[in-house]
Amino acid sequence: MSRWTISGLEADLDRFHLGPLDFDLSPGRALAVLGASGAGKTTLLRTLAGFLRPSAGEIRCDGVDVSDWPPEARRLGYVPQGLGLFPHRTVAGNVRYPIELRTRDDPTPRVTELLERFRLAPLARRYPARLSGGELQRVALARALAADPELIVWDEPWQALDVLARYELGLVLHDLREIEQIPIIVVTHDPALAFSIADSFLVLRAGQVREQGDASVLLHAPSDPFVARFVGFENVYEREVLARGAPGSLRAWLLGHAGPEGVAVATPTLRPGAFALPVWEGQVRSARPGPDGVSVEVVADALLVSLRLPPPVTSPLPVLGARIPFAIDPATVRPLGAPSPPGAAR
Amino acid sequence: MSGGAAAPPARPGPRRPLRTGPIWLALQLVLAGSLILLFLIPIVTLFTYAPLSGLLAAADNAAVRATIWLTLFASGITVLAAVLFGVPLGYLLARRRFKGRAVVESFVALPVVVPHLLVGLGLFLALVIPGSPLYRLTQALGLPVYDTIWGVVLVMVFVSAPYTVLASELSFQAVDERVIEAARSLGAGGATAFLTVTFPLALRGIVAGLLLSWARAVSEIGGLLILAYAVYPGGPYNGPVTSTVSVYIYNLFQIGDLADAASVSSLFLLIAFVLFLAVRLGERTGWVPWRRGELAP
C-alpha cells in the first residue's frame, strides 16, 4: 500500500479558501477530519479525490505528485456523502462497475468474493432503492474495494445508521486498516467511531487547521467549543456567555479559567462532603440513572451544568426542582483556544 | 373559607370534530374530474362521430395512409434531431456555468410561446424568398424546404425541440453530482461516466421530453400552413403529394367532410394512444431501461 504525503495543500472554491494543510498517511493509518459544517472537510476530500484543483501545494502518493491527475487516475476509494451508489445498477452491478472499467477479464469471481465478504450475496440482484442504510454502506465499501484503492476517502460514513450497523462498519474499516493496510481518511461527526477508527485527527475551522495530532491533543487542549463537545466534554461555555456573570458567581469563576474561546469542564462528580472547593448550588432539571451513575442536569447561575453521581445508584434520585450543591475541580477544567501544551504529538 | 384560591378557568374539553373528510374528497373529485371530462369530450365525440366502418375505410384509403406515413416519418426525423441537438443543449445548460446562460435559456423557451404562424412566416422569409443567403444555402445543399418533407421537419423541430431541451436540462440537473463523482473516482473518465451513469439516470426524463416533442410535432399546423402546406415527393419522402395529418384534417373540415375528418382524426388518435401506451407499459414492466432501479427486485 502507498504512503500519502500532503504538503502545503490549498484550494479555493468560490470565496472559500482551504489550507494550507500538511499531513501524511502511512499504510494502515487512519485520519479523521473533524469540524463544524462549512469547515472545509468535504472540500478537502474533493481536492484529494481530484474534483478540485489545488491552488497550491502537493498531493504525493509514494513520492509521485498526483496533484493534477484526473480523479479516475488516482486510485482512491472515494465515497461521497450519500454514498454515491448507482441507482440504476443492482448491488452486483455497482460492485462490478470499477472492475469492468479496469479489466477485460471476467469480473464475476472478484464480484462474488466481495459480495460474500460483505454478506451481500443474497442481495446481489437488488437495486439500491431497496436496501437498508447498513446494507447500502456495505455496498459502497465493497464497490470502493473493487477498484483496488490505494486510499479510502470516506465522507460521513456513519450517517443515518442504527447502532448495530455502525458497529459493524467500524469493524470492517478497522479490518481494512489493520489487515489490508489500506490508509483511510474519514470525515465524521461521530466521536465514538472516530476514536475507534482513527489514530490521528485533523480539526478544521473556516478552512484552517485548528488542531492536528492524536486523540490526547484533542483531549488536553481542545481548540474551540466544537472540538470540546466532539471529544466528549458535556459542559462547554463560550467566553461571551461567561463574561456576563456578576463577581463571585459561577460564571465569573469559570471565566477566570477560560481561554480565548471559552472553557470546557469534564462532568463534575458530586461527592457530598468533599467540598474543599468553592461550592455552587444548582436546581435539578433532570436526573437520568445509567451504568456509570446518575447523570444530573442542574441550572446554576443561569448556566446548564451536567453533573454525575457515581455508582451505585441509590434511591431516592435527586428530585426535579430540588437545589443541590456541587463543586468543580479545577483539574477538570480546560481553557479553549489556548496554545497547545509543549510536546504534544503532531 | 375553603382554600381561598380562585378556581382555575374551565378548560374546554375535547370537541366533536367536524367531519370534513367526505366534503374535502368530493371537492377534489369534482375539480379534478371536471378537467378529465373536458379532455374526454372531443375524443369521445370524435370516436362516436366516426363509426368503426369509417375508421376502417380511412385506414384502407391510400391518401390517408400517405398522410399518416408522412406525419410519422417527418415526426420520427424530428425526434432524432431533438435527440441529436436538443439533448446536448440540455446537458450544456444543466452542467456548465457560462455567461449568457439565462439568454440562451430564454431563446430555448421562445418557440413554446410565439404563435406558430409567425414561425412559419419567419422561416418562409428566410428560406423560401429567392436571393436570401439561407435560400441559396438550402438550394446548394439540395435541401429545399418549401412544400417538402424538409420544410415539415424544420417546422416540427422548431416548435417541438424545446420540450426535449427543457426536459433534458431538468433530468441532467436531477442527477446527483456525487454519483457522477463516485463513478469518476472508481476509474471512469468523463465520457465513460456520462455514458454509463449520467445519461442512463437522465434517460427517463429525456424520453418524457421526447414524447412531448413528438406529440407537439405531430399536432403542429400553424407553421406548416405557410411553409409546407402540401408536401411533394423529394428527399427521403417519395410517396404521393400529400400533407401532414393536421393539415389533411383541416382541409377535410374546410370542404365540409366532417365524417371523413372525424375518421382520420380517430385513426390518428388511436395510433398516438397505442404508441404512448406502449412506452408506459414498457416502463412498468422494466422492459425499457430508463426506470430500472425503481422497480421491485
Q: Do B293 and A46 touch (CB under 8 A)?
A: no
In the beta sheet, which residues pair with residue A79? A154
Cβ of residue A70 closer than 8 Å to a chain B Cβ: yes
Give the residue numbers spanning the domain of B111.
65-244
**Per-residue pLDDT tens for A137-151?**
899 999 999 999 999
Map residue A274 onto helix, strand or coil.
coil
Which class for B227: exposed (0-12), middle (13-18), buried (19 or more C-beta within 10 A)?
Answer: buried
Of A80, A101, A130, the CB nearest to B182: A80
Positive or negative, the CA dihedral A204, A208, A209, A211 is negative
**Per-residue pLDDT tens for A74-84?**
888 899 888 99
H or E element that contains A17:
strand A16-25
Q: Which among B178, B179, B181, B185 is the top mutation candidate for probing chain A, defined by the most A β-carbons within 10 Å of its own β-carbon?
A: B185
In a domain, B4, yes or no: no
> Alpha carbon of B87 to those of A65, B141, B183, B195: distances in Å?
38, 25, 21, 13
Domain with CATH 3.40.50.300 in chain A: 4-218
> Alpha carbon of A6 to those of A22, A62, A79: distances in Å?
5, 11, 19
Q: Number of structural domains, chain B?
A: 1
Cβ of residue B192 closer than 8 Å to a chain A Cβ: yes
pLDDT band at A263 (very low <50, low <70, confident <90, very high): very high
Cβ of residue A13 closer than 8 Å to a chain B Cβ: no
**For residue A79, which amino acid is it?**
V
Cβ of residue A97 closer than 8 Å to a chain B Cβ: yes
Q: CATH number of the domain at B163, please.
A: 1.10.3720.10
Cβ of residue B293 closer than 8 Å to a chain A Cβ: yes
In the beta sheet, which residues pair with residue A289? A294
Query: What are residue B142's phi and psi, to 5 degrees?
Result: 70, 30
The C-alpha of B192 sits at a distance from chain A's nearest C-alpha, in angstroms, of 9
Residue A183: predicted pLDDT? 92
Nearest C-alpha in A relative to B199: A88
Q: Do B179 and A74 touch (CB under 8 A)?
A: no
Residues 6+ apart with CB under 8 A from B43: B269
> Alpha carbon of B279 to those of A20, B73, B208, B217, B283: distances in Å?
54, 18, 10, 18, 6
Of B182, B186, B297, the CB nearest to A130: B297
Alpha carbon A292 to its chain centroid, in Å, reads: 24
Q: Do B182 and A84 touch (CB under 8 A)?
A: yes
For domain A4-218, the question of CATH label 3.40.50.300 is answered with yes
Rounded CA separation A198/A193 (Å): 8
Rounded CA separation B231/B42 (Å): 28
Residue B30: predicted pLDDT? 94
In a domain, B132, yes or no: yes
Q: Is the pLDDT of residue A157 over 70?
A: no
Q: Do B184 and A97 touch (CB under 8 A)?
A: no
Among residues A170, A152, A168, which one has the least CA distance to residue A28?
Answer: A152
Which chain A residues have a beta carbon less than 8 Å from that of B185?
49-50, 71-72, 74, 76-78, 147
Of B187, B189, B197, the CB nearest to A86: B197
Residue A133: predicted pLDDT? 84
Ordered DSSP codes for A253-268:
HHHHH-BTTEEEE--P
Rounded CA separation B115/B120 (Å): 9
> Pseudo-torsion of CA A192, A195, A198, A204, nearest 10°?
90
Residue B291: predicted pLDDT? 57
Residue B264: predicted pLDDT? 92
Residue B296: predicted pLDDT? 44
Residue B252: predicted pLDDT? 94
Which chain B residues have a beta carbon less than 8 Å from that of A91?
none
Residues 6+ apart with CB under 8 A from A169: A134, A137, A138, A141, A157, A158, A161
Q: Which among B97, B175, B186 is the top mutation candidate for probing chain A, defined by the most A β-carbons within 10 Å of its own β-carbon?
A: B186
Mean pLDDT of A266-280: 70
Q: Looking at per-residue confidence, does A162 or A35 come out higher?
A: A35
Mean pLDDT of A193-222: 84
**For residue B94, which amino acid is it?**
A
In a domain, B273, yes or no: no
| Across A214-228, A252-266, B50-64, B228-242, least confident range | A214-228
Longest dimension (CA), chain A: 77
Residue A345: predicted pLDDT? 39
H or E element that contains A141:
helix A133-146
Rounded CA separation A319/B102 (Å): 65
